[in-house]
Amino acid sequence: MIEYRLLAAIALGIFVLLFLILKVKLHAFLSLLIAAITVGIAAGLDAAAIMQTVQNGMGSTLGFVATVVGLGAMFGAILEHSGGARRIAGFLMKKFGVEKAPVAMVLSGFIVAIPVFFDVAFILLIPLIYALQKRTGKSLLLFAIPLLSGLAVTHAFIPPTPGPIAVADIIGADLGWVIGIGFVVGIPTAIISGLLFGKYIGKRIFVPAPPQPETTQAEDDGFPGVGTVFAIIAVPICLILINTSVKGGLIPVGAHWIRQTVSIVGHPFAALIIANLLAWYFLGIGKGFTRKQLLDISAKSMTPAGSIILITGAGGAFKQVLIETGSGDMIAQSLAGIGFPVLLFAFLISAAVRIIQGSSTVAMITAAGLVAPLLEGTALSGFELACIVIAIASGGSIMSHVNDSGFWMVNQFLGLTEKQTFRSWTVMTTILAFTGFITVSLLYYLF
């Protein structure tokens, strides 16, 4: 009887969440909080306990996520305004040339999306694919799909982008492991969904560059040096990876003071603070920005970050309610009883929520909230937890269609019809999701 009540509580909570987002058009932050409270009431928790659980879930999640997402947003904003993102793309274009421009585009998207939000990075780099289409006369999709794939893969798989940070924190995964697995899974995923599919669809759908004013800038004038940009982006990633390697014994370190130093500078907080300071000086002050301008840039970067932070916190509250009600244990026992893999469950739940309501962030956070209680008390390694993060991220990337703002952004900026957008962008995101999940599944079960 108790199991049926808990199952009904979970189903009701998910129904309320989707109803509020899809029909009432309520913000995901508020919808997740209401869904969490609904689960608590339906499961029979005491009223005071429900509110305390929501508070605890919000607090425990935001302590980490708010700091990392905030620092990441500031870092990305300085890189964006300094021209660093375009500098990377321009450098790669020169190295690969027009003939291998799709390779340059997928790499540009892959690298630039590490510090810069997906939509901002796309808008920054789209003038390059317009120029390539006009220069070559080939379909715009030949260059756009690789760029979009590179951006989407990094946005979903590789911290400090918000999605994997949020999921990692909710299920307790180490960011260093997530970065490592994200890169390993992301490379073949970008090749298949970006380069191979881009070449395929580019031959079948011809799309010219939209007739609009030229927006490209003059030959990287005033942009920071490409070596400087690459180095600053690499600093936080390398520091976090080194810290994870030392903690896991992959890099043997004998001296206590070295371990302590690595533990401090390799923590995501310190690593991103260092990256921000480097960006502030070398990409800001060093390129002629005033301190007031940099302050304004940093302040404005908090607007998109704030929404993501609050949604993630509400996802943490949702997870905590599931733990307190015992719903997580019930799901875990049920899955174990029928031999259903947690990795597949994580992917399917994330994919289902993504397809139904559109937002990849909400899908990933909701799935993480449902999966986290299943992992309570298990002895999964950092590697295995990171694989689960990537499985959730893969599901949350699947089948972008008309209920996703990304669908319409691609549709408008590329000048596509709805049918063309489905055949290109929607299919690409679906290939990305399945390729990512299959790749991470092979890693999970083979290693």
Ranked by mean pLDDT, the top range of 6-10, 290-294, 377-381 is 290-294
From the list 302, 298, 262, the residue with the least C-alpha distance to 280 is 298
Domains: count for the chain: 1
Q: Is the pLDDT of residue 383 over 60?
A: yes
Say if residues 59 and 160 touch (Cβ distance below 8 Å). no
Q: How many whole angstroms separate alpha carbon 269 and alpha carbon 257? A: 19
Q: Is the pLDDT of residue 215 over 50?
A: no
Amino acid 275: pLDDT:
96
Mean pLDDT of 360-388: 92
Residue appearing with tokens 């881009």: 198
194-198, 278-282, 358-362 — which is least confidently predicted?
358-362
Residue 212's pLDDT band (boundaries 50, 70, 90)? low
From the list 75, 66, 80, the residue with the least C-alpha distance to 273 is 75
Both structure tokens of 193:
């969904």
CA gyration radius for the chain? 22
Both structure tokens of 6:
């808990």
Mean pLDDT of 230-245: 95
Q: How many whole angstroms separate alpha carbon 17 and alpha carbon 2? A: 23
Mean pLDDT of 265-280: 96
Say if residues 40 and 50 touch (Cβ distance below 8 Å). yes
Amino acid 299: pLDDT:
92
pTM of the entire predicted model: 0.91
Helix (H) or strand (E) holding 327: helix 327-338
What range defines the domain where residue 160 resides?
A: 2-446
Question: In percent, how much of the chain has pLDDT > 90?
Answer: 76
Other C-beta atoms closer than 10 Å to the C-beta of 248 total 14
Collect all residues with Cβ–Cβ distance below 8 Å to 145 and sequence separation of at least 6.
Answer: 193, 194, 197, 198, 201, 202, 424, 425, 428
